Amino acid sequence: MKAYREVRRQSCESRHSPGLLSRRRLLVLLGVALAASAAGRAESRQELGRRLLKECRDALGGERFLNVRDLVQTGRAYAFYRENIKGLAVITIYQNYGPIEKDAELDWLPISRREVYTEKGDYYTLFERGQGWEVTYRGARPLARERMVRYRESVRRDIFHFLRYRLDEPRMYFYHRGVEIIDNVPTDAIDVTDSQGDSATYYLRQSDRLPVQQVYQRRDPKTKIISEERTMYSKYRDVSGVTVPWNVRREEDGEKSFELFGRTAEVNPRVDPSLYRLDARLTVLPESR
């Protein structure tokens, strides 16, 4: 606006002083004023990163995505070790999204998850509000502390958890890194860092803003070695107004560790709340190592 007023001032002076401001000079000054005005309106990389993540949340369903209470998915799951299959199961995943508690501890999670690996449902892993057990016919064995720390880190940085619970978290820093090509698909790469200094990079498909990939680094509490975890999402489908990835693939330091090929998905079906609680009748075994 300041540049524009300067043009108007010089233009008025030119009316009283013929020849003082040529037509070409006036056009140049107008161009400078418009460029300055456009630069003032341009988004910063921080603003752009935040806006794109909000558009991603809208692409996943907006309010319907935020109002998902339960999500039940089935499919074939593969576990890998050094690129070789070490486990295969027809899996059913029950996931419950609860409200945020104001006084919750930093590592507390508002979600519960039950991964069932058999048709009878007698072998499963249960994650309840940040605690975990492996359940078999022998009883419930608490998951090792190191595994739970890793699980909490993974969930807190998971983009679907982030968009639901953390996008509007105070002192969150966003940075748009630019355009990157992932599997021949143009994506916007966005770095996000929270108030604790934990960070992750999310890659959103430019055509529809859906997540393509997420990457974050973690430090082993014992060895202090830094490793990288990368998760890829593909084959999105609409389920009751919510966009859900059918296929999920995870890599650790460049080696494939997990892959899920979805078969079905349900949003907010009738789920017995007891599925997300540890059965009090189970024998509690010593913690796994």
Element (H, E) at 46: helix 45-59
**Is 203 within 8 Å of 212 (Cβ atoms)?**
yes
- Alpha carbons 182 and 213: distance in angstroms, whole number: 8
pTM of the model: 0.82
Burial tier of 180 (Cβ tally within 10 Å: 0-12, 13-18, 19+): middle
- Alpha carbons 242 and 106: distance in angstroms, whole number: 28
* pLDDT for residue 22 is more than 70: no
pLDDT per residue as tens digits for the range 184-217? 999 999 999 999 899 999 999 999 999 999 999 9
Average per-residue pLDDT for the chain: 86
Q: What is the pLDDT of residue 54?
A: 98
Task: Tell me the domains of the chain and their CATH numbers.
Answer: 2-42 (no CATH), 46-276 (2.50.20.10)
Q: What is the pLDDT of residue 224?
A: 82
Return the half-sphere exposure (C-beta side, CA atoms, 13 A cut-off) of residue 165.
Answer: 19
**Is 134 within 8 Å of 143 (Cβ atoms)?**
yes
Q: What is the pLDDT of residue 31?
A: 57
pLDDT-wise least confident of 56-60, 184-188, 199-203, 284-288? 284-288
Average the pLDDT over 134-159 and give the result: 92
Number of helices followed by number of strands (H, E) in the chain: 6, 13
CA angle 48, 203, 176 (to 5 degrees): 25
Token representation of residue 98: 């609860």
| CA dihedral for 46, 188, 160, 164, sign (positive or negative) | positive
Determine the longest span between alpha carbons in the chain, in angstroms. 98
**Collapsed DSSP state (helix, strand, coil) of residue 146:** helix
- Alpha carbons 280 and 284: distance in angstroms, whole number: 9
Q: What is the pLDDT of residue 19?
A: 43
CA of 96: how far to CAs of 183, 277, 283, in Å?
A: 32, 11, 24
- The residue behind tokens 């999105």 is 236
> In this structure, which long-range contacts are made by residues 144-153, counting pairs with CB atoms below 8 Å and at least 24 apart in sequence?
144/287, 144/288, 144/289, 145/287, 146/221, 146/222, 147/288, 149/107, 149/221, 150/218, 151/127, 152/107, 152/109, 153/198, 153/216, 153/218
